[in-house]
Structure 1
Amino acid sequence: MYAVGIDVGGTQIKGGVVREDGAILRFRSVPTPREGGEAVFEALLDLVRSLLTNGEGVAVVGVGVPGWVDGRTGVVGHAPNLGWRNVPLRDRLARALPLPVAVENDANVALLGELWRGAARGAEWVLFFALGTGVGGAILAEGKLLRGARGFAGEFGHIPVRREGGDLCSCGKRGCLEAEASGRAIARRGHEAAETGRSPYLAEVLAREGRISARHVAEAASRGDAAAREIFGQAAEALAFVVGGLVNALNPERVVVGGGVSRAGEVLFAPLREALPRYALPEFLSPDLLLPGEHPEDAGVLGAAYLAFTEGRGARGL
């Protein structure tokens, strides 16, 4: 039995044909249309159809979406980075394919991917942070996804880290973690450092490529660029503030940080480990509490496939 797992991101839509043992047989990605709305749905549908062409016998489809998703109904209540509101995604895809479809928040499915084949394997209490274009989060409690009353639990990116001021977040509020520690926030601050001349390395990148990404800022920081290191230090401090509060509240076995920004490695994790004891109770900290995700690029694809396998068989209790 095979599944198609889809991870819809603010920058890319990734998909793969996944076997029941977790092997990804084929992987593809397409840019997320900047105009949002219906264009994103069409790009998503085209990607799924392209993955169905080799005749592996795909039986189910799973999709992770950034935003507020009711996994019971498959309705995307609000995905601000995609321009979606009240989109009945599961039913629309199921009619168009036609195959059984499971839909869930993207951070939830990424946590399932790390639980199935990654850094959360074997744990029952996990906090998962997805650092990408935005900041997502998911909670595993007693081995089950904690979804909340309406399915929206785990919106760590919209926990305030500033009482006043702060940059504008995609949710419309200011001072959220997402506005401080997301790939978009890091890239924006990198662009400012390039334009003001605080980072000669990033100024050269901007002149050559016309844009600054979080990856460029990570490269600059790894080369010792002071402005880039400061940018990652600010992001790590904000992240540690939220991680510490949640560790104190939930006492997890592991805190897994995944998503594309986690590929920055020690540029992110060194200041994060340094800052975390300022906010988390020492009794709750352990050497193996904070871990990078093992699948920063494809945890969402793996988790969406896992969700499809279990939901397609009528399994409950995740």
Structure 2
Amino acid sequence: MKASNTVLGMDIGGTKISSGIIRDGKIAERIQSQTPASLPQEEILDAISLQISAYKKFDFQAIGIGIPGLVDPIKGIVYNLANIPSFQKVNLKSYLENKFKVPVVVNNDANCFALGEYKFGPALSHRHVVGITLGTGIGTGIIANGHLYTGQLCGAGEWGAVPYLDQTFEDYCSSKFFKNQNRYSAKKLSAKAKEGSPEALQIFNEYGQHLGQLIYRLLLTYAPEAIVIGGSIRKAYPYFEKGMQAIISEFPYKPISGNLKIYVSELDDSAILGAISLVEENEFLVKSENQSAPRPSLA
């Protein structure tokens, strides 16, 4: 199933559900609603189904879904969603396929961001890409050899939970840094930085250095050719770029860091586009899964 066919993409988060339909390679219609995150599982599934039903007139042929947390991309089972308490083990794929009678593919939302940027953004010219979303938390998606690398249950790339200094990278690279360390929101600080506030510029410089430390480790771990930065904090990139680059410049393997391209996302629908692209990517995933299955014993 190619993305040029009629495919519905959906990004399910703790606060909102965003969706779009793609026809002939372009998103034709977008819908956004609030996630009833505190409600029982059945009512949340009803809300998801209601939003999907709004696209029936498009006669979509498949559904791709990005969702935070652990996901079995083969079986389409969602596990342990922190922001949606009732979603602890949900067979989302089976539920929606039975309801809408079309193939459904489910994956982690950070992976969808990376895949959307890879398929529809400037990172398409590279084979090894890491996407980083900077917002309430941080998410990381990995493209290796032109395809998603997800690890077991889409758990690869959970850098927000990696210990850093006295806490984790999420505490220093997401909005938590601004609220907990400096008592300002990133948006408010960005406005101050735009006015030339020395305090705001210094805070963003510190933030950039923390993000640089994360990218330094990403270079050691994955050696990507490109990194794409997304999320709401990306809009303040001009204020934290210098601090970030100062740390990256210390990377010891210059043939890697010297060729690294860093892009700031310009796509408004990266996660939806990535969810749509899951349908095509899933064919590669299933094939790879079958090839890696244990060989039968000859004894």
The answer for the alignment partner of 2:63 in structure 1 is 61
Q: Note the C-alpha offset of 1:262.
A: 1.4
Match of 1:216 among 179, 182, 188: 188
Normalising by structure 1, we get a TM-score of 0.79
Match of 2:209 among 234, 237, 240: 237
Residues 101 and 312, structure 1, Cα contact 8 Å, conserved in 2: no
The answer for the alignment partner of 2:51 in structure 1 is 47
What per-residue deviation string (whole Å, max 9, x for no partner) do you get for residues 23-52 of structure 1?
Answer: 1111122233352663544433332222x1
Match of 2:117 among 114, 117, 120: 114
The answer for the alignment partner of 1:102 in structure 2 is 105
Which 4+ residue blocks in structure 1 deviate beyond 6 angstroms?
312-315
Residues 245 and 280, structure 1, Cα contact 8 Å, conserved in 2: no
Q: Tell me: CA distance 1:40–1:137, structure 2 relative to 1, closer, same or farther (3 Å).
A: farther
1:14 aligns with 2:6: no
Q: Note the C-alpha offset of 1:129.
A: 0.8
1:27-46 equivalences in 2 (<5 Å): 27-33=30-36, 35=38, 38=41, 40-46=44-50
1:163-242 equivalences in 2 (<5 Å): 164=166, 175-183=167-175, 185-187=177-179, 192-193=183-184, 214-242=186-214
Residues 159 and 242, structure 1, Cα contact 8 Å, conserved in 2: no
CA distance in 2, matches of 1:313, 1:144: 8
What per-residue deviation string (whole Å, max 9, x for no partner) do you get for residues 174-201 of structure 1?
Answer: x1222222235535556x24xxxxxxxx
Segment drifting more, 39-48 vs 258-267: 39-48
Normalising by structure 2, we get a TM-score of 0.83
Q: Note the C-alpha offset of 1:105.
A: 0.6
Q: Tell me: CA distance 1:310–1:219, structure 2 relative to 1, closer, same or farther (3 Å).
A: same
Residues 251 and 257, structure 2, Cα contact 8 Å, conserved in 1: no
Q: Unpaired segments of 5 or more residues in structure 1?
A: 165-174, 194-212
Segment drifting more, 307-316 vs 236-245: 307-316
CA distance in 2, matches of 1:229, 1:44: 41
Residues 37 and 83, structure 2, Cα contact 8 Å, conserved in 1: no
Residues 60 and 309, structure 1, Cα contact 8 Å, conserved in 2: no
What per-residue deviation string (whole Å, max 9, x for no partner) do you get for residues 59-103 of structure 1?
Answer: 111110111112111111222123232222222222333432100
The answer for the alignment partner of 2:296 in structure 1 is none
CA distance in 1, matches of 2:14, 2:207: 19
Percent of aligned pairs with the same amino acid: 27
Which residue identity does 2:139 align to in structure 1? G
Residues 137 and 160, structure 2, Cα contact 8 Å, conserved in 1: yes
1:302 aligns with 2:273: yes
Match of 1:133 among 107, 132, 136: 136
Count of aligned pairs between the two proteins:
283
Q: Note the C-alpha offset of 1:316.
A: 4.3
Residues 7 and 63, structure 1, Cα contact 8 Å, conserved in 2: yes
The answer for the alignment partner of 1:254 in structure 2 is 226
Q: Tell me: CA distance 1:288–1:35, structure 2 relative to 1, closer, same or farther (3 Å).
A: same
1:276-315 equivalences in 2 (<5 Å): 276-279=248-251, 281-286=253-258, 288-295=260-267, 297-311=268-282
CA RMSD across the alignment: 2.7
CA distance in 2, matches of 1:121, 1:70: 26
Segment drifting more, 275-284 vs 148-157: 275-284
Residues 244 and 277, structure 1, Cα contact 8 Å, conserved in 2: no
